[in-house]
Chain A
Amino acid sequence: MPINTTQVPAHAGARGHSASASLQSWLPRLVLAPSVAISLFFVYGFMIWTFVLSLTNSRMLPSYHFVGFGQYARLMANERWWVAASNLAIFGGLFIAICLVIGAGLAILLDQRIRQEGTLRTLYLYPMALSFIVTGVVWKWLLNPGLGIQAMVRSWGFDNFTFDWLVQPEMAVYTLVIAAVWQASGFVMALFLAGLRGIDDEIIKAAQLDGASLPRIYRRVILPCLRPVVFSAVMILSHIAIKSFDLVVALTGGGPGYSSDLPATFMYAHAFTRAQIGLGSASAMLMLGGVLAILVPYLYSELRSKRDV
């Protein structure tokens, strides 16, 4: 807060009296204006457009025959939608939690003066560079009971080894978690590692002088300092979770049946392959609503407390 409050007068003082100074005070807004306009049009405008479509009976291409909230009622009665929505909760929750745990764990381990740290870090980080369009086939192989890990372990002599989640309707969604964690946890590790390196050593030394044990230092001193890292990580991970589309298409195709469907694939299937743009738009709006309900309070509290850093 202090910096923030002193800044405004300084700014006002610099305004001076000349025309160029007044232009200067408007410049920031001018610079931001295109981005704001773009986001108003391409994000919010399109959201409103989608909302309008969700009130229509649009089928193959948008039409403007309004049917009120009929599409939402149909969606509520659609079992596949509920499967998709609860899958997102399972997938998103597990994905974010596991990534944070693995990411933080690996970062703490890597922060112990490890030889070849650079190499290891790159190995953990590289999956983020790949898209599931690229790795989907391999993951499908690895998780396929007849081709991949199960077949391999069995060929080593463990005949009873079973790992067939990909083909179990109630387990398929967890294979999505595995592949997604593989992709993103290294990135979270990088964030945490960066955070650990950013912590002032004085704090730790002070804690050590107080006789605190190592785990205690991590729990009580270091992890709380990493709160902003957790924030960034959660933002990026939830962004990935919500948009997981390639992953589902490449790995399970939503199957078996539609047991591993996510809202993104549900929406795509209905809006684009089933000529039900109205219903697809309604599902997109609910998806957005869900995201808002979770993110806005979080964003608000985090941005508020960090406003004056």
Chain B
Amino acid sequence: MPARLRFPMLRLTCAAVATAAALTTTAVEAGEVEVLHWWTSGGEAEAVGTLRDLLEQEGHSWKDFAVAGGAGDSAMTVLKSRAMSGNPPSAAQINGPEIQEWGELGLLGNLDDVAQEGDWDELLPDVVANMMKYDGHYVAVPVNVHRVNWLWANPEVLADAGVEVPTTWDELFAAGEKLREAGYVPLAHGGQPWQDTTTFETVVLSLGGADFYRDAFVELDEDTLKSDTMIEALDTFKRLRELMDEGMPGRDWNLATKMVIDGQAAMQIMGDWAKGEFSAAGMEAGSDYVCAPVPGTDADFIFNIDSFAMFQLEDDRSAEAQKTLARLILEPDFQASFNKIKGSIPARPDLDMSDFDSCAQRSMEDFKAAQANDTLVPSVAHRMAMQSDVQGAFFDIITNYFNDESMTAEQASERLAQAASLAF
């Protein structure tokens, strides 16, 4: 057991971490964690690799189970198959209300002791903490906070067409015309249901504001979904099609980002994971590319939180390793290194952001402000807002409305309301 021999020394090096000592007293032997996730692309894998290294330094081993494809669809299928066969992994990337659904099945383990040691209740904003709990107990650990309502732009392209980064929808459409004349695609987009919904939710937030957004997508209030504001949002959303190119259906989001990077397209509405693509292309935030909140959402923040849910384990050693993993995820080391690569901001707002780029700094400021002003809202497109069945129905309606020329905004809002009513 070489890992065990190394252990005491490492404990010294890790002594800075206050919580480590308390937990490792019970960690007698090295265990193994199997981690199911869909962070397979270069930057993401590198980011999650830092977690593996930290875990291995503590003497445990990491079994990487990455399943790519369909924004986690394949990974979720694998997870269900594993759960059915009675051998779930130790930890799995599960986000948002789905944590509750897994909790209801009684499959998740209890992390309360780790949380208490680490004082998670203090560290985490309530919105985040509540999402990690099932029935009052911590069952998952947040990794990061993504902001969804970002507009990314290539400043060279904008300058070439003689336009500024738009701050209202009218400006955006006006800029779109000029960009078209200059031979650019104004808005890069990938026609996949989740991307359509990403764009749509930012429009709704922009036109309706945070309360309206919550009434519509969290409370699923039928009158809100049928309101004039919603119809206006649907109209604006469909008008955005004019700014996109005909090759968009089925395109992956990162290929759309690539269009902005290559100067083929001017802008893209996408969450801050797009930053990973810009960085990989060697571009600097603020100079080579610019980030701005989607028009009209300056003060608002649509969040998408990645988290690892921990499954109940029989084996003591694995359970110990699992708890170590949970603790490590929230430690400053990992939070900082991971989020710098991933493009998101740390899940704990107490960290020093000076090492981060300007977009991340802005994101963190807005996050804190939005939290204070209660304008922090969950993303529909990333399964943060509602149960997966309603969200699936919303996806269908939104994407169908966006692609079907004959469907009117009134019909779409009617059908959203209908889908919401079936939820209960």
Touch between chains A and B, by CB atoms below 8 Å: yes
Apart from A255-B399, A257-B404, A275-B101: 17 A-B pairs, beta carbons within 8 A: A61-B80, A79-B400, A140-B250, A145-B246, A146-B246, A147-B247, A167-B247, A167-B248, A252-B249, A255-B249, A255-B250, A256-B399, A270-B392, A273-B73, A275-B388, A275-B389, A279-B389
Q: Is the CB–CB distance between A275 and B83 below 8 Å?
A: no
Report the bound CA distance from A234 to B105 in whole Å: 44
Report the bound CA distance from A166 to B191 in whole Å: 12
**Distance in Å from the Cβ of A193 to the closest Cβ of chain B?**
36
Q: Is the CB–CB distance between A272 and B246 below 8 Å?
A: no
8 closest Cβ pairs, A-B complex: A146-B247, A274-B392, A257-B403, A256-B403, A257-B400, A256-B249, A275-B388, A167-B249
Whether, in the assembled complex, A80 has its beta carbon less than 8 Å from a beta carbon of chain B, the answer is yes
The 0/1 profile, CB within 8 Å of A marked 1, for residues 112-125 of chain B is: 00000000000000
Q: Of residues 141 to 187 in A, which have CB atoms within 8 Å of B's CB atoms?
A: 144-147, 164, 166-167, 169, 172
Q: Which residues of B are found within 8 Å of A303, using beta-carbon distances?
A: none
Q: Is the CB–CB distance between A272 and B73 below 8 Å?
A: yes
**Distance in Å from the Cβ of B106 to the closest Cβ of chain A?**
10
Q: Is the CB–CB distance between B246 and A164 below 8 Å?
A: yes
Q: Is the CB–CB distance between A74 and B388 below 8 Å?
A: no
Q: Is the CB–CB distance between B192 and A255 below 8 Å?
A: yes
Q: Which residues of A are found within 8 Å of B246, using beta-carbon distances?
A: 145-146, 164, 167
Whether, in the assembled complex, B232 has its beta carbon less than 8 Å from a beta carbon of chain A, the answer is no
Q: Which residues of A are found within 8 Å of B403, using beta-carbon distances?
A: 169, 255-257, 259
Report the bound CA distance from A163 to B102 in whole Å: 45
**Distance in Å from the Cβ of B220 to the closest Cβ of chain A?**
16
Q: Which residues of A are found within 8 Å of B105, using beta-carbon distances?
A: 60-61
Chain A interface residues toward B at CB < 8 A: 59-62, 74, 79-80, 140, 144-147, 164, 166-167, 169, 172, 249, 252-253, 255-259, 268-270, 272-276, 279
Whether, in the assembled complex, B98 has its beta carbon less than 8 Å from a beta carbon of chain A, the answer is yes
Q: Known interface pairs A60-B105, A253-B192, A275-B387. Does A166 touch B249 (Cβ–Cβ under 8 Å)? A: yes
Q: Which residues of B are found within 8 Å of A259, using beta-carbon distances?
A: 400, 403-404
**Distance in Å from the Cβ of A124 to the closest Cβ of chain B?**
28
Q: Is the CB–CB distance between A59 and B247 below 8 Å?
A: no
Report the bound CA distance from A249 to B387 in whole Å: 24
Residue of B nearest to A277 (CB): B80
Q: Is the CB–CB distance between A276 and B80 below 8 Å?
A: no
Q: Is the CB–CB distance between A257 and B399 below 8 Å?
A: yes
Q: Known interface pairs A60-B101, A60-B102. Does A74 touch B422 (Cβ–Cβ under 8 Å)? A: yes
Whether, in the assembled complex, B77 has its beta carbon less than 8 Å from a beta carbon of chain A, the answer is yes
Q: Known interface pairs A144-B247, A146-B247. Does A256 touch B422 (Cβ–Cβ under 8 Å)? A: no
Whether, in the assembled complex, B193 has its beta carbon less than 8 Å from a beta carbon of chain A, the answer is yes
Q: Known interface pairs A61-B83, A257-B404. Does A272 touch B399 (Cβ–Cβ under 8 Å)? A: no
Instruction: Tell me the count of chain B residues lying within 8 A, CB to CB, of chain A.
Output: 32
Report the bound CA distance from A144 to B167 in whole Å: 33
Q: Is the CB–CB distance between B422 and A255 below 8 Å?
A: no
Whether, in the assembled complex, B402 has its beta carbon less than 8 Å from a beta carbon of chain A, the answer is yes
Q: Which residues of B are found within 8 Å of A61, using beta-carbon distances?
A: 80, 83-84, 105
Task: Say which residue of B76, B102, B249 sits within 8 Å of A272 (CB atoms).
Answer: B76
Whether, in the assembled complex, B331 has its beta carbon less than 8 Å from a beta carbon of chain A, the answer is no
The 0/1 profile, CB within 8 Å of A marked 1, for residues 174-196 of chain B is: 00000000000000000111000
Report the bound CA distance from A273 to B400 in whole Å: 18
Report the bound CA distance from A144 to B389 in whole Å: 31
Q: Is the CB–CB distance between B389 and A59 below 8 Å?
A: yes
Q: Is the CB–CB distance between A258 and B400 below 8 Å?
A: yes
Task: Say which residue of A145, A252, A255, A274 sits within 8 Å of B247 (CB atoms).
Answer: A145
Whether, in the assembled complex, B162 has its beta carbon less than 8 Å from a beta carbon of chain A, the answer is no
**Distance in Å from the Cβ of B199 to the closest Cβ of chain A?**
14
Q: Which residues of B are found within 8 Å of A62, using beta-carbon distances?
A: 84
Q: Known interface pairs A60-B80, A166-B249. Does A275 touch B98 (Cβ–Cβ under 8 Å)? A: yes
Residue of B nearest to A164 (CB): B246
Q: Which residues of B are found within 8 Å of A273, using beta-carbon distances?
A: 70, 73, 76-77, 388, 392
Q: Which residues of B are found within 8 Å of A269, using beta-carbon distances?
A: 392
Report the bound CA distance from A255 to B193 in whole Å: 8
Residue of A nearest to B97 (CB): A275
Report the bound CA distance from A62 to B81 in whole Å: 11
Report the bound CA distance from A263 to B270 in whole Å: 31
Report the bound CA distance from A280 to B391 in whole Å: 16
Q: Which residues of B are found within 8 Å of A59, using beta-carbon distances?
A: 101, 389
Q: Which residues of B are found within 8 Å of A79, using beta-carbon distances?
A: 396, 400
**Distance in Å from the Cβ of A27 to the closest Cβ of chain B?**
35
Q: Which residues of A are found within 8 Å of B29, using beta-carbon distances?
A: none
Q: Known interface pairs A140-B250, A258-B399. Does A276 touch B76 (Cβ–Cβ under 8 Å)? A: no
**Distance in Å from the Cβ of A214 to the closest Cβ of chain B?**
47
**Distance in Å from the Cβ of A74 to the closest Cβ of chain B?**
7
Q: Is the CB–CB distance between A80 and B248 below 8 Å?
A: no
Q: Which residues of A are found within 8 Å of B404, using beta-carbon distances?
A: 169, 257, 259
Q: Which residues of A are found within 8 Å of B102, using beta-carbon distances?
A: 60
Interchain Cβ contacts under 8 Å between A and B, 21 examples: A61-B83, A79-B400, A140-B250, A146-B245, A164-B246, A166-B250, A167-B191, A167-B246, A169-B404, A255-B191, A255-B250, A255-B403, A258-B396, A259-B403, A269-B392, A270-B392, A272-B76, A273-B70, A273-B76, A273-B77, A275-B387
Report the bound CA distance from A258 to B401 in whole Å: 10
Report the bound CA distance from A253 to B192 in whole Å: 8
**Distance in Å from the Cβ of A59 to the closest Cβ of chain B?**
7
